[in-house]
Amino acid sequence: MLTVFPFILFSLKIIASILLVLFSAFLADAQVCSLTISGHIEDVDTKEKLKAASVTIKETGMQRSTDDKGDFIFSGLCAGNYTLLITHIGCDPVEKKITLQKNYHFDVYMMHSRKELGNVIVEAKKNVANTGFKKDLSGNTLAETTGFTLAEALNKLNGVTMLQSGPTVSKPVIHGLHGNRILTINNGVRQEGQQWGNDHAPEIDPFIADKLIVIKGVDELRYGSDAIGGVILVEPKALRTIPGYTAELNTAYFTNNRQMVVSGLFEQQLKKHPAFHYRLQGTLKKGANVATPDYRLNNTGNEEQSFSLTAGWRKEKFSSELFYSYFATKLGIFTGSHIGNITDLENAIAAPKPDDVFLGQDTYTINRPYQDVTHHLLKSKSVFYKEGQKFTVLVSGQFNQREEYDIVRSSTNTRPQLDLSIYTFSEEISWEHLKKNNFNGVAGISLMQQDNSYSGRYFIPNYFSYSFGGYYLEKWSKHKWELQGGIRYDNKTINTTRLKFNGDTLNYDFNFSTLASSFNAIYKVKTGWRLNTNISLASRAPYVNELLSDGIHHGTATYEKGDINLQTEKSFNITTGINYQNKKNTFSFDVLLYSNHIRDFIYQQPMPEDPVLTIAGAFPLIEYKQTDAGLNGFDISASYKPVPAFEWSSKYAFLNARNKKTDDWLIWMPANRLTNEITYSFKENKAFTNTYISAEMKNVMEQKHVPDESNGKQDYKAPPPAYTLINMNASTKVSVFKVPTTIGIGVRNLLNTVYRDYLNSMRYFADEMGVNVSIRLKFQIL
Amino acid sequence: MKSNFLKLTLAVLLASSLFTSCDKNKEEANDEEVITTMKLTFVPVGGGSSLIYEFNDLDGPGGAAPTQDEIILAPSKTYNVTLQLLNKTETPAEDITVEVREESDAHRFYYETSPGSSITISGLDNDVNGVPLGIASTWTTGGAATGSIKITLRHYPAVPPNKAAGDLANSSKSSTDIEVIFNTRVQ
């Protein structure tokens, strides 16, 4: 903490002096024609920021287009009366009259051609759609992650890191928390797979998303009372609303592991049936073994096939959408990390590099050990509008199958050693009253039924769980204030059955009630400034693996044991944010401070004195225990454009995670990191648009905050040293035979740095991936 | 519109009750990889009754702790020893040694005695390539002593297996399938 304060102070000083200069510049010439009209345009339903909307001042003929963030600004205006005309494809035009005396900002919510609700809602207020804390990935930054996994893409956001098990398996971590403490919402549906495992990656194709969003705050309550870490929204773009079709083809190739990615999209709105629109989307991906700077890791290939289908029907006061997605992946597990017992593990860890028998094959073939995961999601969503009210009925079904193929003694064995199938059905009805008297609220009830069964090796039991819950959120906004509060209750019943060898069964039943509430206040001090504070209470029922897991985990050669007496985990979280953006959009900063106190925090405690003896030797025991944890940290970021073509941005994420009962650090928490990026955008011309080149330097510190060895040895190996990575990206958009084509080149680990990451369990055995150049092409046929 | 809404709600509830009534009693196959028992049969050279010593973990890994015999042998004697791996969760017990023998070029048993145990092990049988396998072995005892023996089954995952005569028990080419330590007594 101490080392960071000077850094903050220093940053604040710089910020303050820059602000002073800017403000004095504005004040100096406020008398002459230097007024501005700025605004922000969003879709009323999808909250999508509308870019390329045209805004014209009728009196002067001045015209602007909104940028990627849906913002526009006219500057150098004299005081007087103006009429603004706002148009966007597929929307009815909006006119707004303004008497300009001082700088003026307003928000516009446009509606895509649905006549019955009145054309648009125009509010002379600086309003943002999502109250609370929100970080998103879209546009160029999302495009740069083409071909990467969901967690690797989200890793671009400040405060979001990754938990990995080798190069193929990665999970997102938000402010130090992962797994069941994070909810992943796939196109509006809570993803229900096998998120509990540290080596179980989210079963989602990132190509589905037009935007990846991480939210914290009141809106989390819509999805559950257990989002202690946060919520990830995987948001596809809204279906096409004007007649015609769009086709898009994305391809990418990666040099390190010869990975190929092809993803296509086709969507159409039929002229004959204006109510009907649909989209087809699919992705194929295949990668060979991954190379570190010094050697290639055998059996680290990956394969993925996925597709989705969306069909929508829009009528007056009614719209309905059907969505189906299929996701299948086969992930190779590095052979040198599959461990027979503790002696083998210690031998492997002691070696500076993996044995040659595990290295050097350059092939797409995936052998044992590997994971084979499929996920199906079917969703139906219907929305009814009535007099400023919106009713939504959401029904969904999910099926997830996870098969883990271990190295087995007999080569004739073709069966998986761990086979988990989980069916989930959920139903939700919600009611929303659109903004009236400054109030805007939503309430809903939800039900979920889940059936999990296993075959093969026991790790978690068969179970049936049933849960019901209800929530109510209300938002009030006026002038500079925006207040939002919400409450949610959930009740979950779990009935478990374990079949023993001799035909006996072992049954345990559980019931958990969880309550969550949240309050958020935003105050806009003055134009450009925004203060935001959130206080949240969340609680999470223990998951089945925490209660009843009982088996060997081959990735870490440990014996994991659950505890049926675990209580719900309760968190009290305070988050405060300060944002600033100057009027010219050339400078901005964002500070987010958080303090998360989790009572009865469930964690894995190594029990070094208590090994489990099996016929394969002794395994170190890890038990699920509860403690009180305190996670305190901050994310800060700033960006500055000294000239329009050049942008510098910097972000720093800091986390302090304590086990309060043992007065020690928590294990497996992300190290602090600093990322600096410079981007140069080239002038647009007839042939090339959106052309830029960027370079990123990422410094990940050494994690020195690990449990003290005097409390029992908890880790096999000390955290790896700090490392610095250089990544680059370049992209341009050209027209090839009249087809708009985006060409991008990315380089990860440009200097081929040898490093290991604390949050990758492969750090025990091998280095991380070396230099990886990717080339991506995107064709759009409109 | 209202009636439509009600109809849909009803449909949803009906559908969910249908889903919930689904049966969950899926029969499951137990893990075929379970080995509960290591059985050592000692046949004294030159006659005498055979001895049997076992390691048993009848409920598999976890649960009840395994039980194991102490190996008690007579001094200055030679025994022909056969090792067997069994899965006693099935009736009759499944003999896993058969599978090991079928893929003898990918497996190898190691016998490591503690210093002063007064037991010498030799005469390991070979796999198809003439490299030691160790299902059969010869144990020779000296004077009275106590000690221990570690018996390890190593498995070569490489295709084809890269097993070589010089490989040690902790070779990184192979990984551990079985590791049992018996206390021994020569008396």
For A226-271, the pLDDT digits (tens) are 999 999 999 998 888 788 899 999 999 999 999 999 999 999 988 8
Can you give the pLDDT at residue A13?
Answer: 53
Q: CA of A202 to nearest chain B CA: how many angstroms apart?
A: 25
* Among A328, A247, A316, A322, CA closest to A284: A328
Q: Which of B26, B39, B56 to mutate to test the interface with A (most CBs of A within 10 A)?
A: B26
Query: Inter-chain contact B62–A612, Cβ cutoff 8 Å?
Result: yes
Query: What tokens were used for A440?
Result: 């805007």
* Among A369, A135, A94, CA closest to A232: A135
d(CA A692, CA A143): 13
Can you give the pLDDT at residue A117?
Answer: 29
Q: Which of A341, A409, A450 to mutate to test the interface with B (most CBs of B within 10 A)?
A: A409
Question: Where are any strands of DSSP class E within B11-74?
Answer: 37-44, 51-56, 67-68, 71-73
Given a cut of 80, whether residue B130 has pLDDT beyond it is yes
Query: Inter-chain contact B65–A613, Cβ cutoff 8 Å?
Result: yes
Instruction: Please report the number of interchain residue pairs, chain A to chain B, with beta-carbon separation below 8 angstroms.
Output: 161
Are B184 and B148 in contact by the 8 Å Cβ rule? The answer is yes
A414 and B CB contact within 8 Å: no
Q: Which of A501, A559, A610 to mutate to test the interface with B (most CBs of B within 10 A)?
A: A501
For residue B63, give the chain A residue with the closest CA.
A550
CB atoms within 10 A of CB A8: 14
Can you give the pLDDT at residue A21?
Answer: 43
* Among A51, A59, A54, A38, CA closest to A86: A54
Query: Inter-chain contact A409–B19, Cβ cutoff 8 Å?
Result: no
Chain B residues whose beta carbon lies within 8 Å of the beta carbon of residue A338: 157, 175
| Main-chain dihedrals φ then ψ at residue B18, nearest 5 degrees | -60, -45
Query: Inter-chain contact B19–A449, Cβ cutoff 8 Å?
Result: yes
Query: Inter-chain contact A395–B12, Cβ cutoff 8 Å?
Result: yes
Query: Inter-chain contact B4–A384, Cβ cutoff 8 Å?
Result: yes
Query: Inter-chain contact A614–B57, Cβ cutoff 8 Å?
Result: yes
Query: Inter-chain contact B19–A425, Cβ cutoff 8 Å?
Result: yes
d(CA A142, CA B5): 38
Name which of B16, B58, B176 is nearest A616 (Cβ-Cβ).
Answer: B176
d(CA A668, CA A707): 9
A341 and B CB contact within 8 Å: yes
Name which of B26, B62, B176 is nearest A617 (Cβ-Cβ).
Answer: B176
Q: CA of B117 to nearest chain A CA: how many angstroms apart?
A: 21
Query: Inter-chain contact B66–A615, Cβ cutoff 8 Å?
Result: yes
Can you give the pLDDT at residue A618?
Answer: 84
Question: In 3-state terms, what secondary structure has residue A361?
Answer: coil
For residue B177, give the chain A residue with the closest CA.
A616
Q: Is the pTM of this model over 0.90?
A: no
Name which of B55, B57, B179 is nearest A343 (Cβ-Cβ).
Answer: B179
| Main-chain dihedrals φ then ψ at residue B106, nearest 5 degrees | -115, 5
Query: Inter-chain contact B33–A339, Cβ cutoff 8 Å?
Result: no
Query: What tokens were used for B10?
Result: 């009803």
Query: What tokens were used for A376?
Result: 């199906």
A563 and B CB contact within 8 Å: no
* Residue whose pair of structure tokens reads 């037991």 in the numeric block: B119
Name which of B33, B60, B179 is nearest A341 (Cβ-Cβ).
Answer: B179
- How, if at all, do strands A54-57 and B51-56 pair? unpaired
Q: CA of A488 to nearest chain B CA: how many angstroms apart?
A: 21
Q: CA of B135 to nearest chain A CA: how many angstroms apart?
A: 15
Can you give the pLDDT at residue A103?
Answer: 82
Q: Which of A386, A410, A500 to mutate to test the interface with B (most CBs of B within 10 A)?
A: A410
Question: In 3-state terms, what secondary structure has residue B17?
Answer: helix
DSSP B90: S
Name which of A317, A395, A425 is nearest B1 (Cβ-Cβ).
Answer: A317
A368 and B CB contact within 8 Å: yes
Query: Inter-chain contact B99–A410, Cβ cutoff 8 Å?
Result: yes
Specify burial of residue A392 (Cβ count, 10 A radius: 0-12, 13-18, 19+).
Answer: middle
Can you give the pLDDT at residue A607?
Answer: 83
Query: Inter-chain contact A343–B178, Cβ cutoff 8 Å?
Result: no
Q: What is the dihedral of CA B103, B105, B107, B108, to 10 degrees?
A: 140
Can you give the pLDDT at residue A421?
Answer: 95
DSSP A353: S
d(CA A57, CA A507): 71
Query: Which amino acid type is present at position A125?
Result: K
Residues contacting residue A21 through CB under 8 Å, at least 6 positions apart: none
Query: Inter-chain contact B61–A408, Cβ cutoff 8 Å?
Result: no
* Residue whose pair of structure tokens reads 């004095």 in the numeric block: A24
Query: Inter-chain contact A449–B20, Cβ cutoff 8 Å?
Result: yes
User: From the CA atom positions of chain B, what is the Rg in Å?
Assistant: 25
Can you give the pLDDT at residue A44?
Answer: 65
Chain B residues whose beta carbon lies within 8 Å of the beta carbon of residue A499: 28, 30
d(CA A53, CA A72): 9
Q: Which of residues 613-642 of A touch B (CB under 8 A)?
A: 613-617, 619
Can you give the pLDDT at residue A341?
Answer: 79
Chain B residues whose beta carbon lies within 8 Å of the beta carbon of residue A449: 16, 19-20
Chain A residues whose beta carbon lies within 8 Å of the beta carbon of residue B62: 550-551, 559, 561, 612, 614
d(CA A29, CA A425): 62
A449 and B CB contact within 8 Å: yes
* Among B33, B66, B64, B37, CA closest to B53: B37
Kindly provide the ipTM of the predicted complex, given to two decimals.
Answer: 0.83
Query: Inter-chain contact A502–B30, Cβ cutoff 8 Å?
Result: no
Q: CA of A409 to nearest chain B CA: how many angstroms apart?
A: 7
For residue B163, give the chain A residue with the closest CA.
A357
Question: In 3-state terms, what secondary structure has residue B6?
Answer: helix
CB atoms within 10 A of CB A718: 12
Query: What tokens were used for A363?
Result: 């092939």
Low-confidence ranges of chain A (pLDDT < 50): 1-5, 7-10, 12, 18-31, 113-129
d(CA A153, CA A161): 10
Q: CA of A254 to nearest chain B CA: how many angstroms apart?
A: 27
Can you give the pLDDT at residue A111?
Answer: 66
Chain B residues whose beta carbon lies within 8 Å of the beta carbon of residue A462: 24, 26, 28
Q: CA of A298 to nearest chain B CA: how many angstroms apart?
A: 11
Query: What tokens were used for A709?
Result: 């060895």
Name which of A318, A499, A551 is nearest B61 (Cβ-Cβ).
Answer: A551
Query: Which amino acid type is present at position A590?
Result: D
d(CA A394, CA A434): 19
Can you give the pLDDT at residue A58?
Answer: 81
Using one digit for the tens of pLDDT, what is the confidence trace for A31-74?
457 788 888 888 766 667 788 888 888 888 788 888 878 888 88
Name which of B12, B177, B178 is nearest A393 (Cβ-Cβ).
Answer: B12
Q: CA of B64 to nearest chain A CA: how many angstroms apart?
A: 10
Given a cut of 50, whether residue B2 has pLDDT beyond it is no
